[in-house]
A and B are shown apart, each in its own frame.
Chain A
Amino acid sequence: MIEFILARYNYWIVIALMMTGLYIVFSRGNLVKTLIGLNLFQTSVFIFYITMGKVFGGTAPILLGGHAEEGHGEEHGGDHAESTHGTAYGEHEDSYASDPLHEGGAVNTIEETHAELSPGESLHTAPEGAVNELARAETPAGDVAKAALDHGTEILYSNPLPHVLILTAIVVGVATTAVGLSLAVRIREAYGTVEEDRLEAIDNQDDRAEVLV
């Protein structure tokens, strides 16, 4: 039971954030705080989508194919593929060939990032019962990919689609926040306050004044 709960801790974070955000939206009278709550609420959905896209033991969804032939058997075959910063492969080949020290440096940083990422991110698809210990013992995702390349087996990728979707949703969220904040600014200009209670009192006064006229 405890394992069941712990293995899904991403989801608990999502739920906790979501409820916190919604509670702030409903309970806070200050318009800016309401927007902060709204943001928190949306952020929980971003985390939910990111969790969804992660495949247990999968690597970053950038195509490693084609590289397998040239890099086969060599030590840095997988490392190349892991330096996934959008640079052309050819450039890397050159720099690596000319500067062996640089190669070592590159490998280290990559492995560091993996050490940070893998235990947390790869947890949620773990089969039931396979909990923290297992995940920690698991080789980092980069090594899995490297091993797969070396042995010519299929490489496991994380699902890129949810990430793309959530990028879109983040953009929408930013736009919403921008519109919301500019509305708050305009409200402040027009009413002199951003407290909902005060706003309501002022509006009610206006209403009564209109009826009398």
Chain B
Amino acid sequence: MLLDDLPVLPVILPLIAAPVCLLLPNNKLSGSFATVVAWGAFILSVMLLQQIATGGAAEYALGGWASPLGIVYRIDLAGAIVMSLVSLMAAVTLPYAIESIRAEINGYQISAFFAMFLICFAGLMGVVATGDAFNVFVFLEISSLSTYTLVALGAKRDRRALTAAFTYLVLGTIGATFFVIGLGLLYQVTGTLNMLDINEQMQGQDNKVVRAGYAFIVTGIALKLAMFPLHRWLPDAYTYAPSAVTAFLASTSTKVAIYAMLRFLFTVFGFSFGFADVAFTFFLILGLIGMFYASTVAIFREDVKMILAYSSVAQIGYMLLGISFATVDGVGAALVHVVQHAVMKSALFMAVGAVFFAVGSHRLSAYKGLAKKMPITTAAFLIGGLSLIGVPLTGGFISKWVLIQAAFGSVQPVPTLLIVLMIVASSLLAVAYVGRIAWTMLLEDPDNNAPVKAVPLGMTIPMLLMAGLTLYLGIDAGGLIELCRAAAESLLGTGLGFGSAS
């Protein structure tokens, strides 16, 4: 019975747990409860992943209404990977949050914080699980609305969190509304909201309405995933949010938006739609510009969290680049990078949070000589940083390697060698901004020798776990690459199989 409902359980579980969490007292109890829920969702997601890897895509009709009429959850391999990733991140970040949040938000808001966290988590899982286009919007807004409040909770330490949350709210809402307009146009053409059904009804159609719908949907999701010119909300929101929130958001929310983008590009629109080429060219160009622009900006920031936030914008460029190849290898590489980047960024932001806990600042000047005072945190940070650059034996190397391979295997309007050179060159920019922090931590003398506050184990263990996972995925990544390739095949397979040409 449990197995029959497996596709829906990882979404329902945190959603139901959230109000319960709100009723719990403002101490460790609410956090522990949320952690248990997240681990439960993670175990269910992994079970689902296993089931789908062997038995193919799972479909679940909510309320017993069958596919085109009712709302269905449809999870294929790509979805199962992202769901496992998101639930893993929640399961690791929540115990971290129990400790880190006590210093960062007001005591009376603790159980509300965890309730919001669970709602955000449920929303993100829902976006991935659902096979209904309008449901994507609803879940996207569930997760976004809770994210705005989570970001704003950083206001106790820095009031700029409020303005950051407000900007995020305005831009996020515009993005969501664009998405709804696009859906409306598609509904006018097809008369259905089921993703697979839309694809079927739209076969061979190419008119102004479909094109407008395409443009609205792609722009809307691009705002949510902070594609280069639409990234304005991201650096501030990541910088001023509480540490645990940043670690969770950086590793999940943009990733889920990338997944939604993949879903709409390949499952809903598919390759029979000629206008798609224009979008792929856009992704290629904007991805490349984003990589360079954001990396360059990151070099000149004085705030470590801000540097990492801009680096996130740059890394999203790599994922868009992979998508723009529109081949199995390219999309597979994008998925590999989604996983790798989520793991390394959460390790990095957790390290930054640990420093913030101990020193009380995330400005670069506070990092002077930190290697001597906080060796474990420094080690975790450096592993994440090296992975960000793409040094061999770390996860980042694997994803760049796969991406470069995919670039060589694709046909592009610009020479592929140029794209590859640009990928390598932007990695050099990563050397600059990571190197700057590493230099400050390792080689500069600390301002004073006052001992720092000890970081509790609840924060150290998740951080080391993620750093360890970064190393593990850098050494033994064969399974992940295979899985992502199979996922990309299943994604592109629904869109008339153009991508299997490679």
Contacts and interface: CB of A to CB of B under 8 A. Distances in A.
B104 interface: no
A137 interface: no
B134 A165 contact: yes
A175 B174 contact: no
Nearest to A165: B134
Given A42-B173, A184-B166, A186-B162, A179 B145 contact: yes
B188 interface: yes
A38 B170 CA distance: 7
B416 interface: no
A143 to B, nearest CB: 27
A190 B177 contact: no
B181 interface: yes
Nearest to B142: A172
Interface in A124-153: none
**Which size class do A's interface residues fall under?**
20 to 34
B149 A179 contact: yes
A206 B148 CA distance: 23
Contacts of A42: 173, 177
Given A45-B184, A49-B184, A190-B159, A25 B166 contact: no
B173 A176 contact: yes
A186 B155 contact: yes
A52 B160 CA distance: 41
B484 interface: no
Contact of A183 (B134, B162, B173): B162
B187 A175 contact: no
B174 A22 contact: yes
B455 interface: no
B302 A179 contact: no
B138 interface: yes
A52 B188 contact: yes
A17 to B, nearest CB: 12
Given A25-B174, A42-B173, A52 B184 contact: yes
Interface string A192-211: 00000001000100100011
A172 B134 CA distance: 12
B166 A31 contact: yes
A34 B159 contact: no
Interface string A36-77: 001001100100110010000000000000000000000000
A161 to B, nearest CB: 8
Contacts of A187: 162-163, 166
Interface in B124-180: 134, 137-138, 141, 145, 148-149, 152, 155, 159-160, 162-163, 165-166, 169-170, 173-174, 176-177, 180
B interface: dominant SS: helix
A168 B183 CA distance: 14
B224 to A, nearest CB: 14
B180 A169 contact: yes
Contacts of B180: 45, 169
A180 interface: yes
B162 A48 contact: no
A191 B177 contact: no
A31 B174 CA distance: 15
B138 A183 contact: no
B170 A52 contact: no
Given A22-B174, A191-B159, A211-B302, A183 B169 contact: yes
A30 B480 CA distance: 49
A162 interface: yes
A42 B177 CA distance: 7
Query: Max chain A CB contacts within 10 Å: which of B184, B193, B363?
Result: B184
Given A49-B184, A176-B169, A183 B174 contact: no
Given A162-B187, A203-B163, A179 B169 contact: yes
Contacts of A48: 181, 184
A211 B162 CA distance: 21
Interface string B183-212: 010011000010000000000000000000
A161 B152 CA distance: 35
Contacts of A183: 148, 152, 162, 165-166, 169
Contacts of B181: 45, 48
Contacts of A184: 166
Contacts of B176: 172
Contacts of A22: 174
B347 to A, nearest CB: 26
A165 B187 CA distance: 11
Interface string B253-290: 00000000000000000000000000000000000000
A45 B159 contact: no
B169 A41 contact: no
B154 to A, nearest CB: 12
Interface in B41-75: none
B216 to A, nearest CB: 10
A35 B188 CA distance: 29
Contact of A52 (B163, B177, B187): B187
Contacts of B363: 210
A190 to B, nearest CB: 4
A121 to B, nearest CB: 16
Contact of A25 (B148, B170, B193, B302): B170
Contacts of B137: 169, 172
B184 A162 contact: yes
B173 A199 contact: no
A199 B187 contact: no
Contacts of A49: 184
A166 to B, nearest CB: 9
Interface of B: 134, 137-138, 141, 145, 148-149, 152, 155, 159-160, 162-163, 165-166, 169-170, 173-174, 176-177, 180-181, 184, 187-188, 193, 302, 363
Given A42-B173, A42-B177, A168-B138, 7 more contacts: A25-B170, A34-B170, A45-B180, A162-B184, A179-B169, A180-B170, A190-B162
29 contacts: A25-B170, A34-B170, A38-B173, A41-B177, A42-B177, A45-B181, A48-B184, A52-B188, A168-B134, A168-B138, A172-B137, A172-B138, A172-B141, A172-B145, A175-B141, A176-B169, A179-B145, A179-B148, A179-B169, A180-B173, A183-B152, A183-B162, A187-B162, A190-B155, A190-B162, A199-B163, A203-B160, A203-B163, A206-B160
Closest 8 interchain pairs by CB? Answer: A190-B159, A172-B141, A187-B162, A183-B166, A176-B173, A180-B169, A186-B162, A179-B148
